[in-house]
Amino acid sequence: MTLPAGTPTLEALSTGNFTRVDNVFCTEGLAERITRCDTIPSLRPTKTDHFPIITTFDVRAPLVDLKERLNWKTVKWKELCERLEEDLKSLGVPKEIRTEQEFWRRLRELNGVIEEVLQDRDIVAIMADSPHRRRWVSPVNTFTIDIGLITWFTNFFAR
């Protein structure tokens, strides 16, 4: 429960006794964002016995973590392919994988070669995100409006 224990939420009109009949529940994730949960008896409307419960949440959007990442827009693809082809030769001639252990060993070797090539900053540059960037903002995520639907609404309401 979010409301602190012992906080009265009702004053009986006939006796004037304070009791707690109301509770405030929320999920664990939301409870972490609560900055205040309390009653304010002075804001109680007339002819009511329940006190208003005021709950305040901190709902500020967290800043995106600044992480360096590969800038795939500026990759020198010809050099990348040539370097990969050259470095993959060190793994030997491709052959059939017969056991699970061999599969995982070969996969580690392949990933190692790829990661080593991607560390070359002459081929793949690094960029950092802005702390104000939102994950959902993208020039690709746009929508189109159906012109026929707009025309129908315009004609319908123009009657």
Q: Are residues 49 and 95 in the same domain?
A: no
CA distance 40 to 52: 6
- Average pLDDT for residues 69-82, to the nearest whole number? 90
Q: Are residues 85 and 121 in the same domain?
A: yes
Q: 23-27, 76-80, 98-102: which has the minimum mean pLDDT?
A: 23-27
CA distance 94 to 89: 9
- Residue-wise pLDDT for 33-55, tens only, equals 888 888 888 888 887 888 888 88
Q: Are residues 51 and 84 in the same domain?
A: no
- Residue-wise pLDDT for 87-101, tens only, equals 999 988 888 999 999
- Residue-wise pLDDT for 117-144, tens only, equals 999 989 988 887 665 555 554 444 444 4
The overall average pLDDT reported for the chain is 79
Q: Are residues 46 and 90 in the same domain?
A: no
Q: How many domains does the chain have?
A: 2
Q: Are residues 98 and 122 in the same domain?
A: yes
Q: Which residue segment(s) compose the domain that 46 sits in? A: 10-57
Element (DSSP H or E) covering residue 28: helix 28-31
As to burial, measured by CB atoms within 10 angstroms (0-12 exposed, 13-18 middle, 19+ buried), residue 8 is middle
Say yes or no to pLDDT of 148 above 50: no
88-91 CB contacts, 8 Å cutoff, 24+ apart? 88/113
Read off the DSSP letter of residue 124: S
Alpha-helical (H) ranges within 73-157 are 77-88, 100-118, 147-157
Give the per-residue pLDDT at 141.
44
Q: Are 84 and 78 in contact (CB under 8 A)?
A: no
Q: Are residues 15 and 50 in the same domain?
A: yes
Give the per-residue pLDDT at 146.
42
Q: Are residues 77 and 121 in the same domain?
A: yes
Give the per-residue pLDDT at 154.
53
Is position 14 within any domain? yes
Closest CA to 36 of 55, 50, 23, 18: 55
Is position 115 within any domain? yes
Q: Are residues 89 and 113 in the same domain?
A: yes
